């Protein structure tokens, strides 16, 4: 259906994906595109909202503006957009808002926020995230497709690549759980591994880094709950599994939010 008038669309131009949010007949609609499919995105715009005005956030905002010349734009701070969009998606009565929690947004990189009902504070960030997965998967395994990387990783055994605590202490009983990682990729020189194992170890390294950064900041703020969002999680069961395992191992609670990866686009849409 073509929307009458000047439709407002929120766009989150991330490092890897372009996400869009808009209202039609009072209902929120969400879409996402890879930059390789930008022409498809343009066709959708021409059909759906040819006179749209755009509220933009994300690192590739200038790239989008260059390709939508003549359109009406308004920029929105990325971290504000993420937290405000997240609040829109989260039930206002959610108990975590009363107690406080850490929000970890795992996109191309990772940003960490402390949130309560009254405030949102950016705590930290890391260059480790979905972009790390794509880059290192290409270098180490020759794989460039996200879905295929995830499929292969789920079939792998990271213990063939990572040096675990039990490997160091064997045959003695280790003082901490033996499956803990002593060194990511610490067995790689042994050569007894497949592509699937390498990708599983890569997923493990990234998720451990994100979870440890998140749990550290949760400890700093004295809270026990961590909410993870981001397209990297949305596309990978293994990422969720590893994040949950590491988070809970250190005594914190793992949470996720449906459509959380669209928080930036929604926040941009809602900006005045």
Q: Is the peptide bond before 171 cis (omega within 30 degrees of 0)?
A: yes
pLDDT attached to residue 232: 87
pLDDT, mean over the chain: 92
Neighbouring C-alpha atoms within 13 Å toward the C-beta of 30: 16
Whether residue 3 is predicted with pLDDT greater than 60 in this model: the reply is no
Judge whether residue 242 has pLDDT over 80. yes
pLDDT at position 6 is: 62
36 catalytic? Reply is no
User: What is the helix (H) or strand (E) element at residue 165, kind and residue range?
Assistant: helix 165-169
The predicted-structure confidence for 210-239, as pLDDT tens digits, reads as follows 999 999 999 999 999 999 999 888 878 899
Minimum mean pLDDT range among 63-67, 204-208, 243-247, 251-255: 63-67
- Rounded to two decimals, the pTM is 0.89
Please check whether residue 239 is in contact with residue 203, taking contact to mean a CB–CB distance below 8 angstroms: yes
- CA 205 – CA 108 distance, rounded (Å): 15
Q: What is the pLDDT of residues 129-163, one digit of tens each?
A: 999 999 999 999 999 999 999 999 999 999 999 99
Instruction: Summarize pLDDT for 159-180 with one digit per residue, the tens.
Output: 999 999 998 998 888 887 888 8
pLDDT at site 76 = 94
Q: What is the pLDDT of residue 48?
A: 80
Q: Is 50 helix (H, G, I), strand (E, B) or coil?
A: coil
Residue 112 β-bridge partners: 104, 124
pLDDT at 187: 94
Domains for the chain: give ranges and CATH numbers.
8-79+264-270 (3.30.420.40), 126-256 (3.30.420.40)
Indicate which residue of 24, 36, 78, 148 is catalytic.
78
**pLDDT confidence bin for 5, thresholds 50/70/90:** low
């Amino acid at each position: 259906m073509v929307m009458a008038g000047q439709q407002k669309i929120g766009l989150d131009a991330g490092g890897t994906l372009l996400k869009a949010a808009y209202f039609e007949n009072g209902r929120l609609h969400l879409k996402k595109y890879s930059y390789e499919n930008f022409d498809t995105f343009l066709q959708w715009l021409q059909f759906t909202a040819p006179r749209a005005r755009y509220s933009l956030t994300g690192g590739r905002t200038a790239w989008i503006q260059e390709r939508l010349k003549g359109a009406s734009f308004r920029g929105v701070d990325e971290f504000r957009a993420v937290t405000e969009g997240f609040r829109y998606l989260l039930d206002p009565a959610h108990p975590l808002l009363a107690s406080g929690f850490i929000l970890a947004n795992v996109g191309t990189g990772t940003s960490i926020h402390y949130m309560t009902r009254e405030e949102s504070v950016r705590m930290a960030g890391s260059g480790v995230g979905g972009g790390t997965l794509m880059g290192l998967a290409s270098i180490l395994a020759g794989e460039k497709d996200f879905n295929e990387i995830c499929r292969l990783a789920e079939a792998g055994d990271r213990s063939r690549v990572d040096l675990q605590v039990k490997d160091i202490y064997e045959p003695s009983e280790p003082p901490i759980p033996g499956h803990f990682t002593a060194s990511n990729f610490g067995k790689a020189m042994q050569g007894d591994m497949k592509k699937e194992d390498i990708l599983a170890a890569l997923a493990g390294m990234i998720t451990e880094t994100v979870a440890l950064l998140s749990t550290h900041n949760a400890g700093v703020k004295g809270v026990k709950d961590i909410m993870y969002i981001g397209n990297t999680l949305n596309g990978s069961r293994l990422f969720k599994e590893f994040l949950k395992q590491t988070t809970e191992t250190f005594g914190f609670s793992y949470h996720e939010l449906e459509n959380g990866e669209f928080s930036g686009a929604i926040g941009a849409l809602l900006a005045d």
